Structure 1
Amino acid sequence: MESAESTESARLLLRRFSPADAPALAAYRSDPEVSRYQSWESPVPLAEAERLAAMFAAGDPRGPGWFQYAVERRDVPGLIGDVGVCRSEDGRQAELGFTFAPEFQGRGYATEAVARTVEFLLAEEQLHRVSAGCDARNVRSAKLLERVGFRREGHLVQSMWIKGEWTDDVLFGLLASEYGGTRDGR
Structure 2
Amino acid sequence: MEFQISTTRLIIRPFVAEDLPMFTQYRNDPIIAKYQSWTDYSFEQAQSFFAAMDYKAFGQSGLWFQLAIADNQTQLIMGDIAVHFIDDEQMEIGFTLAQQYHRQGIVFEAVSAVINYLFIELKKHRIIAITDAENIPSMGLLNKLGFRKEGHFIKNIFFKGQWGDECAFAMLRDEYISNANSKVEG
TM-score (structure 2 length as normaliser): 0.90
How high is the sequence identity, in percent, across the aligned residues?
33
Q: Which amino acid aligns with 1:37?
A: Y
SS at match of 2:70: strand
Cα distance per residue 1:12-71 (max 9 Å; x no partner): 1000111111101110000000000011122x1111111112223556221121011011
Q: Does 1:98 align with 2:98?
A: no
Q: Secondary structure at the match of 1:95?
A: strand
Runs of 4+ in 1 over 4 A off after TM superposition: none
Unaligned runs of 5+ in 1: none
Provide the residue aligned with 1:30 in structure 2. 28
Does the 8 Å contact 1:134/1:169 carry over to 2? Answer: yes
Pair 1:117 & 2:114 matched: yes
In the alignment, the residues of structure 2 paired with residue 101 and residue 59 of structure 1 have an alpha-carbon distance, to the nearest angstrom, of 27
Q: What amino acid is aligned across from residue 68 of structure 2 in structure 1? A: A
Number of residue-to-residue matches in the alignment:
178
CA contact (8 A) 1:59 1:67 kept: no
Amino acid at match of 2:12: L
- Trace 1:129-148 onto structure 2 (pairs within 5 A): 129-148=126-145
Deviations 1:101-126 (A, max 9, x none): 00011111111111111111011110
1:24 is paired with a residue whose SS is: helix
Please, which of 86, 104, 108 is the counterpart of residue 107 of structure 1?
A: 104
Quick check: which one's helix share is greater?
Answer: 2
- Report the TM-score, using the length of structure 1 for normalisation: 0.90
Taking the TM superposition and a 5 Å limit, the aligned residue runs for 1:16-95 are 16-42=14-40, 44-56=41-53, 58=55, 60-64=57-61, 65-89=63-87, 91-95=88-92
Q: Which amino acid aligns with 2:170?
A: G
| Unpaired stretches in structure 2, ≥5 consecutive residues | 181-186
Residue 152 in structure 1 maps to residue 149 in structure 2: yes
- Work out whether residues 85 and 96 of structure 1, in 8 Å CA contact, stay in contact via their aligned partners in 2: yes
1:152 deviation in Å? Answer: 0.5
